[in-house]
Amino acid sequence: MFKALLNDEAGFIVSAELVLVATILVIGLIVGLSEVQHSVVAELNDVGDAIGMLNQSYHFSGFHKFDGKHQLHALTVGSAFRDSMDECDNNQCDITCDPPRPEGPKRRW
């Protein structure tokens, strides 16, 4: 029975090659997901810039109606709004990752 167990190739044995391949796959997955995260942040930044570039200014004039005796029958005043730049319009508040910094000196207590 022990000889049959040794000759059996239907089982799964964890080997060093399998551990190496799994490690490389996990590291590649982490790097890939990090790049996806950076791409999503960049695209959302572009969407925010596009929304910030929308000009919401408007202006319409009023009107009035006089009858033949110069009596006022109806009056509507105009209105206007001028859109000003917000704090983060045009990519002024760019969202990026900080560059890596070296560690400080080790302290001995």
Q: What is the pLDDT of residues 19-74, one digit of tens each?
A: 888 899 999 999 999 999 989 988 988 887 787 777 788 888 888 888 888 888 88
Domains of the chain, residue spans: 14-83
pTM: 0.47
pLDDT tens for 73-96 read 888 888 998 877 766 666 666 556
Cα separation, 98 vs 52, whole angstroms: 24
- For residue 58, the cross-strand partners are 81
- The predicted pLDDT at position 67 comes to 86
- The predicted pLDDT at position 48 comes to 79
Cα separation, 35 vs 101, whole angstroms: 20
- The predicted pLDDT at position 27 comes to 94
Q: Which helix (H) or strand (E) holds 42?
A: helix 16-52
Task: Determine if residue 91 is left, alpha or beta; phi over 0 gives left, psi from -120 to 50 gives alpha, anything else beta.
Answer: left
